[in-house]
Amino acid sequence: MAKYKVAGLTEVSIDNSAGTLLNMTSYIDTITAVGKEFASLEVTTFGDSAERFIAGIEMSEEITISGPFDDAATTGPDAVFSTLVGTINTIRFAPAGTASGRRQLTGEYLFKSYKVNAAVKENVKYELVAQRDGTLNATGTF
């Protein structure tokens, strides 16, 4: 089983207000877990001796993306993310890179908030919170 280090492989791309997918990897140091989860529907009957369940619909997920604040005029996270709050945009997460056959997870997300925070003896950081809208598409293999 292959194991992947984060440095140099992981890629996160997000489309901008023009719909162009931008590689934002150099501005991101954390992304919360991205994956699929389904609602469970209970189908236990009087004849069962234990609870029984079936898979329901795919559930949405909320993810948080964060990293060092950068206010580069057109390419930094402040310029890109601050204009996307309240809109639905594509996020593509490639945890093992984008080489042929590598796993990529892509979905549409409602960008709920973008905030900048600072603390003494720490760098200034941003935080983007997004809620998935619809299904998560997986391509490639791990």
Give the separation between CA 104 and CA 39, rounded to whole angstroms.
23
Does residue 125 contact residue 68 with C-beta atoms inside 8 Å? yes
Task: Give CA separation, 71 vs 8, 10, 23, 80, 108, in Å.
Answer: 23, 23, 16, 9, 25
How many other C-beta atoms can be found within 10 angstroms of the C-beta atom of residue 4?
14
Exposure of 130 by Cβ count < 10 A (0-12 exposed, 13-18 middle, 19+ buried)? buried
How much is the pLDDT for 139? 86
Secondary structure class of 117 (helix, strand, coil): strand
Return the pLDDT at 1: 46
Can you give the pLDDT of all 142 residues of the chain as single tens digits? 455 555 568 899 999 888 899 999 999 999 998 888 999 999 999 999 999 999 999 999 999 999 999 988 788 899 999 999 999 999 999 988 888 888 899 999 999 999 999 999 989 999 999 999 999 998 875 4
Q: Are 7 and 25 in contact (CB under 8 A)?
A: no
